[in-house]
Amino acid sequence: MILLQTGSQSPTSMMFILGAMILVFWLFMIRPQAKKAKQAKEFQQNLQKGTKVVTIAGIHGTINKVNDDNTTIMLETSPGSYIKIEKSAISQEWSQQLNKPAEPAK
């Protein structure tokens, strides 16, 4: 008859494994997300008049005015047509892609 031995690990090794799992989770999930959020906030704080942007809803436009409350902007979507939106509604990735210089055709 073969007996299966249940391994009883020491509490120290279990704590080490748990700590290693938490560290890996933090390195690969939490830290990059926090860095990305910090970059997006910095991008939104540095928006200026004349910058071409894209909102998270996909609306393209040019910033006409940064309002006094510093949380909203007036976005010109077409000549003479303005909408008031929150700075937090501006997509950093899409706006940077829109403003990226075009690559010359080969």
Domain boundaries, the chain: 14-99
Residue 80 has pLDDT above 80, yes or no: yes
- Counting beta carbons within 10 angstroms of the beta carbon of residue 73, is it exposed (0 to 12), middle (13 to 18) or buried (19 or more)? buried
Residue 64, φ and ψ in degrees, nearest 5: -95, -35
Quick one: pLDDT band at residue 75, thresholds 50, 70, 90? very high
CB 75 within 8 A of CB 64: yes
Whole-model pTM? Answer: 0.64
Residue 65 has pLDDT above 70, yes or no: yes
Say if domain 14-99 classifies as CATH 2.30.30.140: yes
Length of the chain: 106
